[in-house]
Amino acid sequence: MDNLLKVALAQIAPVWLNKVATIEKIEATILEAAKEKTELVVFGEALLPGYPFWLALTDGAKWDLKVNKEIHAHYVRNAIQIETGELDNICKLAKENNIAIYLGVIERAKDRGGHSIYCSLVYINSDGEIKSVHRKLQPTYDERLTWAPGDGNGLKVHPLKQFTVGGLNCWENWMPLPRTALYGQGENLHIAVWPGSDHNTKDITRFIARESRSYVISVSSLMKKEDFPKDTPHFGKIINASPKVLANGGSCIAGPDGEWITEPVLYKEGLIFETLDFNKIYEERQNFDCVGHYSRPDVTKLTVNRERQSTLELND
């Protein structure tokens, strides 16, 4: 039925800062989801190749520290350059299995020179086409020491059966105006991706659902102390300062009424499945629609710049 959508939340750990091995794990997870006739699978923020946990463990803010420079260089080498086809096989699997994908990646953006990296959320449709790459607008706290700020180009929504999907990275979900930019384009299935931990997902997931009267899927990754590969630069320094658990999951789903469909799942690695009914969205929009009948665009209105930003414009 076109009003029903089967989704899978991929709560997995990366093979930390190893893009080749992490891609292999992502591909295996997509195939596992496809066996259950999943129509949308969502992976956590920065899963490919991993979240920069070292910054909190290695005096990340200390100026010109060689340890952080060397780990950062390793991170950049394992970032994804989409233009060179590094996601092509994932796109192929999406098409072969008729499955849409939201995937959190660290992007080494060629259109920004190819040396800075961005926390990006990639949407691949069921035809295997990359339809948007949303670069996180504002990295949070120590993330700013390794990730560059993005732009509005990826603030886009996409049709998926009767649903309209859009997504944001981590604390962007706390930013009212980017949320509104998606709502105004008709979003009714909101994707929120996180590095992991229920302290992020347990409140905002239900809040966004209640505000937007949409389904909200929050997907987090996992990370334990033993997940740091031993060949990581400065492994000893990282492991000595690391807590036992760095990301405990917390993936969950809230319905358009703001109530739990799937409460935050902790410590469990694997796929979480649910089927969503589009009709529930119309039911909840009857009494509140924040960009529709319960809005006053004559009084307040949002302007969004979706131009992809670049330092260089070539006129040959």
Q: Tell whether 304 is covered by a domain.
A: no
Domain count, the chain: 1
Do the Cβ atoms of 167 and 193 come closer than 8 Å?
A: yes
Query: In sequence order, what E strands does 129-244 have?
Result: 130-135, 158-160, 163-169, 189-194, 215-220, 222-224
The whole-number pLDDT of residue 60 equals 87
The whole-number pLDDT of residue 168 equals 98
Q: Which two tokens stand for residue 170?
A: 């981590």
Q: Which residues are within 8 A (CB) of 168 and not within 5 positions of it... i.e. 6 or more apart?
A: 121, 134, 175, 178, 179, 182, 190, 191, 192, 193
Chain centroid to CA 289: how far? 25
Choosing from 19, 25, 39, 45, the catalytic residue is: 45
Q: Which two tokens stand for residue 99?
A: 């499955």
Q: Tell whether 291 is covered by a domain.
A: no
What's the number of CA atoms in the CB half-sphere (13 Å) around residue 87? Answer: 29
The whole-number pLDDT of residue 265 equals 98
- Structural domain for 117, as ranges: 4-285
The whole-number pLDDT of residue 272 equals 98
The whole-number pLDDT of residue 248 equals 97
Q: Tell whether 299 is covered by a domain.
A: no
Choosing from 25, 119, 156, 170, the catalytic residue is: 170
Quick: pLDDT tens for 56-76.
999 988 899 999 999 999 999
Active site residue 170: yes
Active site residue 45: yes
Choosing from 39, 86, 107, 136, the catalytic residue is: 136
List of the chain residues with pLDDT < 50: none
CATH of the domain at 250: 3.60.110.10
